[in-house]
Amino acid sequence: DAGVTQSPTHLIKTRGQQVTLRCSPKSGHDTVSWYQQALGQGPQFIFQYYEEEERQRGNFPDRFSGHQFPNYSSELNVNALLLGDSALYLCASSQTGTSYEQYFGPGTRLTVT
């Protein structure tokens, strides 16, 4: 059973550019959440997608947007990159209406120069 997968593993971008990160949820999961983990910090919730719509959103600017596809996979888009966007971006999946567990992928390390 494949767990949560993310691509790419690492990414280097320049300030002002745009980036797209991808996530495939664990088999059987229909909900995808994205988190940003800055160096030395705990993960911070960005947003959550369910049934192809954004269901909840954390305290992140509109430069952060996302999408969920019919197969439940998801993308995170960040526009007008800032140096402060450098972080590990984690995707987590879960199944609506079941247990309390969110399963995390290995993350995408984004470096903005």
Partner 1 sequence: GNSVTQMEGPVTLSEEAFLTINCTYTATGYPSLFWYVQYPGEGLQLLLKATKADDKGSNKGFEATYRKETTSFHLEKGSVQVSDSAVYFCALSYSGNTPLVFGKGTRLSVIA
Return residues touching partner 1 (CB under 8 A).
4, 6, 31, 33, 35, 40-45, 48, 50, 55-56, 58, 90, 92, 94-107
C-beta closer to partner 1: residue 18 or 56: 56
C-beta closer to partner 1: residue 79 or 95: 95
Smallest distance, Å, CB 99 to partner 1? 6
Smallest distance, Å, CB 15 to partner 1? 25
Give just the sign of the alpha carbon dihedral 96, 102, 107, 113: positive
Smallest distance, Å, CB 16 to partner 1? 28
CB crowding 72-109: b at 16 or more within 10 Å, else e: bbbbbebeebeeebbbbbbbbbbeeeeeeebebbebbe
